Amino acid sequence: MFKLSKKVQSLPPYLFLEIDKAKRKAWGQGRDIIDLRIGDPVQPTPKYIIDALYQAAQDPATHKYALDQGLPALRRSIEGWYQRRFNVNLNPDTEVLPLIGSKEGIAHFPLAFLNNGDYALVPDPCYPPYKGGTILAGGRPYLIPLLKENKFLPDLDKIPLNIRKRAKIIFLNYPNNPTGATAEKDFYKETIAFAKKNKIIIISDMAYSEMSYDGYKPASMLEITGARDVVIEFHSLSKTFNMTGWRIGWACGNEKLVSALGKVKSNIDSGIFSAIQLAAIAALDGPKEQIKNMCNLYQERRDILIRGLKSLGLSVEPAKATFYTWIKIPKKIDSIRFAGLLLEKADIVVTAGVGFGKYGEGYIRMALTVPCERIEEAIRRLEKVL
């Protein structure tokens, strides 16, 4: 009786929902599951942020509709954080837009610029909303392989000329989910030149910009001269401050791109709960030790996991950023079957690489979101399976 739209029919199953079904079934059987599938920190949100929310929520003024552009105080706080972190000056009134999590902003952005049949250049493997947002806007994803031999960076020279002419946007995500790869300023300079030449908008997803190790500090594309002509950058408080469920992030960069996203959002939502915006200010202006402690924690977990995986003969390199480990699996089995085997035989939940795109086949992704002792237990279980 009811028929889904062609756009919705063309969407692939959302990766994490499918995995969650299998995990819940195993839990229902009373099994001791080690969940390494999704980037959701188990550490609580820092108390000073929770306290700020509590205080703000006592004020009835925060219970009203929020401004679509976000509180001016939050936009100024984002501007200040950006200046301290990247030495980039933003205009908080025209170049910053708070979001209900960076995911919704990234998924909604194509609605502002894609017409039916326009292309979006989408890395593969990738975070699923890049494809989903493109499809829902009527666009066509053109997949750019992220391959190990190219350090999981897109080879822009291999994009056909006829695709470039019809492409309106390109998605970039460094530090990268799912591969953990990083990009340097030389790559950003080349990409900005490519975008200007072909009149393409760059969407830079930096959800993992603060999650880095071994002294490495990811750069922002907006640090590059000329970037503001073509770049809109997305950030999230989810991973940086253990605020995944709070749903707050922001977009910043080219004022026309920021304004266009704001116009879309003004027709879709009514802003972020003001008390959460005030808590976000507390997070951004708060003590730096939170981020340092987070990075130390994940680096310790990363090192334990890498040592264990290598001891089992698996091909894996330590990522300089993100809390993901991208693992090459034995050639004789595909990633979905391998992930299923780990759940069935070892009670370990991981993400099959092909769930992030066809070029993710041959890999699985593990997230460093469980304590060290659970990672060590996972290695022991893996040893029995392998």
Smallest Cα–Cα separation from 251: which of 45, 75, 71? 75
Place of tokens 């894996």: 316
Extract the tokens encoding 260: 């266009």
pTM over cut 0.75? yes
pLDDT at 11: 82
DSSP code string of 211-273: -B-TT--PPPGGGSTTGGGTEEEEEESTTTTT-GGG--EEEEE-HHHHHHHHHHHHTT-----
- DSSP-derived 3-state class of residue 206: coil
Domains and CATH numbers, the chain: 6-44+289-385 (3.90.1150.10), 47-285 (3.40.640.10)
Count of CB atoms within 10 A of residue 31's CB? 11
Q: Give the span between the Cα atoms of 108 and 110, in whole angstroms.
A: 6
pLDDT at 19: 65
Sequence letter at residue 258: V
Could you list the pLDDT tens digit for every one of the 386 residues in the chain? 788 888 888 887 766 666 667 767 777 777 899 999 888 888 999 999 999 999 999 999 999 999 889 999 999 999 999 999 999 999 999 999 999 999 999 999 999 999 999 999 999 999 999 999 999 999 999 999 999 999 999 999 999 999 999 999 999 999 999 999 999 999 999 999 999 999 999 999 999 999 999 999 999 999 999 999 999 999 999 999 999 999 999 999 999 999 999 999 999 999 999 999 999 999 999 998 989 999 999 999 999 999 999 999 998 999 999 999 999 998 889 998 999 899 999 999 999 999 999 999 999 999 999 999 999 999 999 998 88
Length of the chain, in residues: 386
229 close to 191: Cβ distance less than 8 angstroms: no
pLDDT at 14: 64
pLDDT at 386: 81
